[in-house]
Amino acid sequence: MTVYAYFVAAAIMLIGILGIATSKNLVHAVVCLSVAQSSTYVLLIAVGFQYGGVAPIFGSGVDQKTPVVDPVVQALTLTDIVVSAAVTSMLLALVIQMAKRRRAINPDDLGPLEG
């Protein structure tokens, strides 16, 4: 258990890269990229976890001495998710442009600088 979470993150990253490289459809490749990026959420949140820690929302029952899970990595993950959505939407817009201009969304059908 001590390293399982980290290995799950690594495995998701490798699966995502495999998906991008073997993809036959650019929409599929973009989704695989977002899966690869989701591995960073798992890694960050796993690094910040603490057994017995509660969510970092203070108030009734949770004060400064209560062990909480790391809010810093959670803030980073929040940023990560928003950036991932921005990247995905931008890439999908490019895929639509590609489909309009080249009429092909299979990376194998595109030239070296287009795919």
Partner 1 sequence: MTRRLRLILLGVGLAVLGTLLVVALPQLPRFGGDAHPYRDLAVVATFQHATANAVSSINFDQRGFDTFGEETILFCAVVGVAALLRPVHRERRREVASGGRVLESTSLLVYVLFPVTLVLGADVVAHGAITPGGGFQGGVVLSTGIHLLYVGGRYRLLQRLRPLAWFEQGEALGVVLFGALGLAAAAFGAALFANVVPQGTLSDFVSAGTVPLFNMAVGLTVGSSIVVLLASFLDQTLAIRADQGGAGPSDGVREGAA
Partner 2 sequence: MNETVLTNLVVAAALTLVLVGAGAVVFTRNPAKQAVVLSVYGILLTVLFVALGAPDVALSQVAIGTAVVPLIVVLSIRKVGSIGSERARARSEAKASDGDP
The torsion region of residue 69 among left (phi > 0), alpha (psi -120 to 50) and beta comes to beta
108 binds, among partner 1, partner 2, none (CB under 5 to 8 A by kind): partner 1
Can you give the length of the chain in residues?
Answer: 115
DSSP state letters, 90-104: HHHHHHHHHHHHHS-
Shortest spacing between CB 113 and partner 2, in angstroms: 21
Distance of CA 75 to the CA centre of its chain: 15
Residues contributing to the site for partner 2 (CB under 8 A): 1, 4-5, 8, 11-12, 15-16, 18-19, 24-25, 27-28, 30-32, 34-35, 38-39, 41-42, 45-46, 48-49, 51-57, 68-69, 74, 77-78, 81-82, 84-85, 88-89, 92, 95-96, 99-100, 103, 105
Cα 37 to Cα 20, 28, 76: the distances in Å are: 12, 14, 13
Rule CB under 8 A: which residues touch partner 1?
1-7, 10, 13-14, 17-18, 21-22, 46-51, 55-60, 64, 67-72, 74-75, 78-79, 82-83, 85-87, 89-90, 92-94, 96-97, 100-102, 108, 112
